[in-house]
Amino acid sequence: MKEELRNKYKIIRDNIKDKDIKSNIIKNKVINTIEYKNSKVIALYKNLDTEVYTNDLINYALNDNKIVVLPKVIGNTLKFYKTDNKSFTKSKYNIYEPIETDIVDNIDLFIVPGICFDKYKNRIGFGKGYYDRVLKSIKIGICFEEQIYDKKIDTNEYDIKMDKIITDKNIY
């Protein structure tokens, strides 16, 4: 079931229009949350072409004197590195990862990507479990409204639920 949803929502996500406008709406919603305002260290990610654009959010947080960390796949886990949002390399998964070497563990807020989410704050990612193994503290999933599945996603004990999901239309 998850694989079917993953495939269906990748196609939906690929065809979403006005991603730049919608991403800006999502950014503004994120920066106005109490979770963002109360966080000093924020884990973000460099988006794939079809995901919510995160570059403006990263730059906003840096200019807002937040410590921004970005993920890098090391073996079977994600490590988060402090970033200035200037130096990257492409990973084997075609994801931009920071070149920086300062690992940060004390993360206050995770901004989490996903292929789809449901209104119950469950998430489907790429299926490798990288995020599920490292998520602690506050977790906000971001996606376009079209990526919200209208039923409950089947989960298992390893799936980590979000505290909040922010789309261009709603906050769940």
Which residues are part of the catalytic machinery? 123, 132, 159
Is the Cβ–Cβ distance between 124 and 89 less than 8 Å? no
Helix axes 19-31, 55-63, angle to 10 degrees: 30
Distances (CA, A) of 35 to 95, 126, 155: 26, 25, 25
Answer yes or no: are the C-beta atoms of 52 and 24 closer than 8 Å: no
If phi over 0 gives left and psi between -120 and 50 gives alpha, with beta otherwise, what is residue 54?
alpha
β-pairing verdict for 138-142 and 164-166: parallel
d(CA 160, CA 148): 17
Query: What are the strands, taking DSSP E only, across 61-122?
Result: 67-74, 77-82, 88-90, 96-98, 109-112, 116-118
Q: Are 109 and 43 in contact (CB under 8 A)?
A: yes
